[in-house]
Amino acid sequence: MKSKWILKSLKFAAFAALAVAGLGWLVVGLWNVLVPDLFGGPRITFWQAIGLLALVRLLLVGARPWGWRGYGHRGKPWQQRWEAKMASLTPEEREKIKQAYAQRCGGRFRNREKSERQPETVDKN
């Protein structure tokens, strides 16, 4: 069982290394063909291209791990838990939570509840 896990890990590491090397050489080639002629910039080495790839990833995606997309990215489990919690509460408890959110978040929740209840009439005097 462990040997399969180790073999899969080694295959993944080899594939990742080849992918990074391939991307590095692609960036070196594109940079050295385009940037010096178009902008008069310097030529770069392979390791500078790898650093450039890392910098671009940090700037565009952030420092989070590769497969992680944040909490609740698969079916929003936080929303399902919230709805289950709200369904288990009594109407008085739900109203208390709504009032607490209305105080924290300003008039956004109060205005929505007013519009759901009944439209306000405008006096034309």
Radius of gyration of the chain (CA): 28
Q: Give me the DSSP letters along 4-39.
A: HHHHHHHHHHHHHHHHHHHHHHHHHHHHHHHHHHHH
User: Per-residue pLDDT tens for 24-77?
Assistant: 999 999 999 999 999 999 999 999 999 999 998 888 877 766 555 555 456 677
Both tokens of residue 8?
């899969």
User: Per-residue pLDDT tens for 83-120?
Assistant: 888 889 888 998 888 888 888 876 655 555 554 555 55
Distance CA 28, CA 19 (A): 14
Residue 125 in this model has a pLDDT that exceeds 60: no
pLDDT at 122: 57
pLDDT at 11: 93
pLDDT at 72: 46
Distance CA 116, CA 14 (A): 58
